[in-house]
Structure 1
Amino acid sequence: MRTICIFTGTRAEYGLLRPLIRALERESEIAVRLLVTGSHCADTHGATWREIAEDGIAVHERIEVLMDSATHAGVYTAMGLGMIRYGDALMRIAPDLLVLLGDRYEAFSAAAAATVCTIPIAHLHGGELTYGAIDDSFRHAITKMSHLHFASTDAYRDRIIQLGEDPDCVFAVGALGVENVRSVELHDEYETARRLRLEPRQPYLLATFHPATRSALSAEDQLDALLDALDRFEDHVVVVTGANADAGGLSINRRLAERAARNPERYRFFMSLGTQLYLSAARHASAVVGNSSSAIIEVPSLGVPSVDIGPRQAGRVRAESVISCGEDSARIVEAIRQALTPGFRDLAARAANPYDRPGTSAKIVRELVSRDLTAMSLKTFHDRC
């Protein structure tokens, strides 16, 4: 029996990992252990660990580390505390393999703890670039601590190999989020509107905005520009979801909640929609606006225009349905107007998604189940000739 520990620290990350967790649970020779932490455990971020329990997935370790995520000190304190508590949890679980997704600081701390505990790591979504966030550095550092790599595109696979990883351990498998689009039963237009507290057929924009941690602007200035732009589209309601647990995230969420309370006719604020409702909301939106990776990775497979704002996702491969713009309100307005034109909506409906590949979770499971972990754990640096 092989024990695989899956780490999740955010609602978005769990939504991506869920099909993989389900697939591993169906393997008779695999024992799945879930380590849940970060914003999942924080009431200020919706206590989304409950969504995992409601899905019927067992939470084996629930580790609270999130301190005051509104400040840089809160983030690095959570990182240090996380490394200690994740190490303790990994020693209790004693997994044969740890699975991590992405580039968050929580995942970096878990990877560091696993490295000290000599637990091999499988990493998803390595090789990507996000110049506008400190997550870029965490992602590449996790790559160097990991032993198996599941990239979402061929370009990202090449970059992982460029970082010195063995090509035999690096696979381009597509994105789990796109697999969700294909497999999750989405709500129809009317049920989506009901759950979003909208009138039937009311046009709306779906917005998510996280702090761009390497932007020259403060989180407050970034949000001001976005809200100024959204206010211009008076015929659309704005459905907005909460920011993540980066420095500045709590301030953004507080202001969004206040905006929705003051202007209930125009704004709906949800700390977390969950995977099914989020994808349904994106499917029926006029456009998806903000700086979340979902607008670049998943939304193109729904045939809906995306407006990606500022530098946070700069460097990612993107579909033709994604419009990139600067952080000032005038450029955001211009980009949203373009996204709402019939011509661009037709383009988005036909655009190919570079993250879309069949059988993503099945390919990952095959490697997680069959790999010789002892041989794999002896890493060398692969020099490109």
Structure 2
Amino acid sequence: GLMRSTLNAIRKHPLLKIELIVTGTHFSKKFGYTVNEIIKDGFKIHKVKILDVKDELSMLKSFSEGVVRISKVLKKINPDILLIEGDRYEALSATIGGAFLGIPIAHVSGGDVSGSIDDSIRHSITKFADIHFPGTDKSAERVIKMGEDPKNVFMVGTPGIERSRLGKKQIIKKFGDPAILVVQHSVTTEIPEAGFQMRETMRAVSELGMDTIVVYPNSDPGSKHVIKEIEKYKNNKNIKVYKNIPRDYFLGLMDNVSVMVGNSSAGITEAPLFNLPVVNIGSRQKGRERAHNIYDVGHDHKKIIAIIRKILDRKEKKSSSPYSGEGTPEKIAEILSKVKLK
């Protein structure tokens, strides 16, 4: 995923050694059993299986299980630094375990604001962390305003903003030549509406009749409702549905489709690199810094269709982005190799 290049940079650094704790949906067949991708990359891993998330209560149980089970692994490994990325509840489980075991924590992508419960999780991790790798200048400012020592805040850019290593021919061979890429997740504070929200998106791309790739959502409360709506279109001749798409292929798709649709953070942070217009639907990313390639719209299939047509009728101009990933993996690895621990 997003951290693959960073993990490889750490592994290649002569002064560093890396082991991964793998948990969450990496073990879910419903979401593609992506632990196999990590094993294929050759990392030493420690498996921590926790409960699949179906609703708010199962997420809480999964979170608490994660604290206990990940802590046991951390106690065994006893790492010098625990590297955490982002704002997933599994990341917070690991953070709490690491903090109570006295393990220094480095946090990637702290200080971001998206406007959901993810903010609370992300900021909580920031307050537990000792070393900070925010992705933008504004995010770095927020981390410092939260009381973190500026000497421990390193604005290194955003991991995962990189081009695919695959050529267009490889992408076309696997996916054909789709015009639209759809990635839409449930919103934790809008679970009852998750099915309706996805229904409007799927109705829009279906009525447009263009070749479309749709990717399953994250395993969050409400995701089953999103998947239910997606599966209604699995026999549609213009729509191909994937549980998971490996990172290089996903980047290749972003570089080749005409428009991205949904509410994924990839549309906000990574799409500008490919000059890819994004129809950002709903509230999930409302607080994010953004480039001018983002078109915001509500959950209304008619409005979604209108914006997609507007985008396709004109050639998108390149726009600057607050996000950059140039050299980010190597910067993180180098700082980790030199940082003075307590």
> What's the TM-score once normalised by structure 2's chain length?
0.96
Contact 1:323 / 1:339 at 8 angstroms: preserved in 2? no
Q: CA deviation at 1:165?
A: 0.8
In 2, the alpha carbon distance for the partners of 1:332 and 1:127 equals 30
1:85-127 deviations in whole A, cap 9, x for unaligned?
0100100110010001100111011111111111111001111
In 1, the alpha carbon distance for the partners of 2:281 and 2:256 equals 21
Q: Secondary structure at the match of 1:300?
A: helix
Q: CA deviation at 1:310?
A: 0.6
Kindly indicate whether residue 12 of structure 2 is the aligned counterpart of residue 40 of structure 1.
no
In 1, the alpha carbon distance for the partners of 2:15 and 2:248 equals 29
Q: In the alignment, which of 334, 354, 364 is matched to residue 332 of structure 2?
A: 364
In 2, the alpha carbon distance for the partners of 1:50 and 1:254 equals 25
Provide the residue aligned with 1:245 in structure 2.
219
Q: Secondary structure at the match of 1:232?
A: helix
Contact 2:186 / 2:220 at 8 angstroms: preserved in 1? yes
1:217-268 deviations in whole A, cap 9, x for unaligned?
511011111112212211x1110111001001133224323421x31x1210
In 2, the alpha carbon distance for the partners of 1:138 and 1:203 equals 35
Q: CA deviation at 1:129?
A: 0.9
Provide the residue aligned with 1:3 in structure 2.
none
Q: Secondary structure at the match of 2:3?
A: helix
Kindly indicate whether residue 47 of structure 2 is the aligned counterpart of residue 62 of structure 1.
yes
Contact 2:19 / 2:43 at 8 angstroms: preserved in 1? no
Provide the residue aligned with 2:174 in structure 1.
195
Contact 1:219 / 1:248 at 8 angstroms: preserved in 2? yes
Identity %: 32
Provide the residue aligned with 1:106 in structure 2.
90
In 2, the alpha carbon distance for the partners of 1:54 and 1:299 equals 27
Residue type matched to 1:284 in 2? N
Provide the residue aligned with 1:334 in structure 2.
306
In 1, the alpha carbon distance for the partners of 2:246 and 2:25 equals 14
Q: In the alignment, which of 276, 287, 295 is matched to residue 259 of structure 2?
A: 287
Q: In the alignment, which of 200, 204, 211 is matched to residue 225 of structure 1?
A: 200
Provide the residue aligned with 2:128 in structure 1.
145
In 1, the alpha carbon distance for the partners of 2:178 and 2:89 equals 36
Q: Secondary structure at the match of 1:99?
A: strand
Provide the residue aligned with 1:324 in structure 2.
296
Q: CA deviation at 1:316?
A: 0.6
Q: In the alignment, which of 138, 141, 150 is matched to residue 158 of structure 1?
A: 141
Structure 2 gap ranges (5+): none
Q: Secondary structure at the match of 2:133?
A: strand
Q: CA deviation at 1:277?
A: 0.5
Contact 1:307 / 1:339 at 8 angstroms: preserved in 2? no
Q: CA deviation at 1:216?
A: 7.6
Q: Secondary structure at the match of 2:18?
A: strand
Q: Secondary structure at the match of 1:31?
A: coil
Q: CA deviation at 1:73?
A: 1.3
In 1, the alpha carbon distance for the partners of 2:323 and 2:301 equals 29
Kindly report the root-mean-square deviation, in angstroms, between the aligned alpha carbons of the 2 structures.
1.5
In 2, the alpha carbon distance for the partners of 1:35 and 1:203 equals 35
